[in-house]
Amino acid sequence: MESVSIDPQDFRRVLGRFPTGVTVVTANASGGPIGVAIGSFASISLDPPLVGFFLGNQSGSGAAIQEAGHFCVNVLAADQIELCGVMASRGDDKFEGVDHHPSPVTGAPVFGGIMAAIDCKLHSVVEAGDHNLIVGAVQHLEGSDLTDPMVFFGGNYGTFGPTA
């Protein structure tokens, strides 16, 4: 395949025009619980039920998720911007004082007040350039009746509500 030169700043700017949902992926690693904010979550397959997300292939969180063999995707609500900031940080104990409970199958952390939780066993990891696609086999799902999801667009967090 022929190499193409794309300016990374242009790439980020143009792709930033695509709105994404905001999630926090959690797992129980040997060093304790981990959480990482993710904007690249997607449904992959209905049969079997598979979901996935991308993480930089140098990410310590990615290595911890692979070691754990499981993860839970927490879909954030619009009012969880502070939780998103904590999980996007490089803090030592991101879970201190944060409302969470274990997911029913893998035991990965599930936060209070989220839109949905998708509990997964690790299915596969696919290298894709400087990122890895981490695929999970869905083991359990739960969703809430909340209607205002957190959305990331153009470098900012926001939401949209139902149109009545």
Return the structure tokens found at 26: 């959690």
pTM of the predicted model as reported, rounded to 2 decimal places: 0.90
Strands 42-45 and 50-56: antiparallel
Q: Which residues contact 74 (CB under 8 A, 6 or more apart)?
A: 23, 24, 25, 26, 109, 110, 111, 114, 116, 117
How far is 103 from 71, CA to CA, in rounded Å? 9
Amino acid at 117: A
Ordered domains of the chain (ranges, CATH) = 9-39+58-121+137-152 (2.30.110.10)
Residue 76 is classified by DSSP as: P
How far is 71 from 64, CA to CA, in rounded Å? 10
pLDDT at 81: 92
- The pLDDT tens digits for 105-136 are 999 999 999 999 999 999 999 999 999 999 99
pLDDT at 160: 66
Question: Residue 142 pLDDT > 80, yes or no?
Answer: yes
For residues 149-155, give the mean pLDDT.
Answer: 84
- The pLDDT tens digits for 44-74 are 999 999 999 999 998 889 999 999 999 999 9
Q: Per residue in 29-40, is it b (16+ CB within 10 Å) or e — as a string?
A: beeebbbbbbbe
Asked whether the beta carbons of 71 and 26 are under 8 A apart, the reply is yes
The residue with tokens 């022929």 is 2
pLDDT at 127: 95
Question: Residue 97 pLDDT > 60, yes or no?
Answer: yes
pLDDT at 38: 94
Asked whether the beta carbons of 66 and 55 are under 8 A apart, the reply is no
Nearest to 119 by CA among 55, 75, 164: 75
Quick check: bond before 48 cis, omega within 30? yes
For residues 82-97, give the mean pLDDT.
Answer: 89
Q: How far is CA 52 from the centre of its chain?
A: 9
Question: Cα 15–85–62 angle (5° rounding)?
Answer: 70
pLDDT at 164: 44
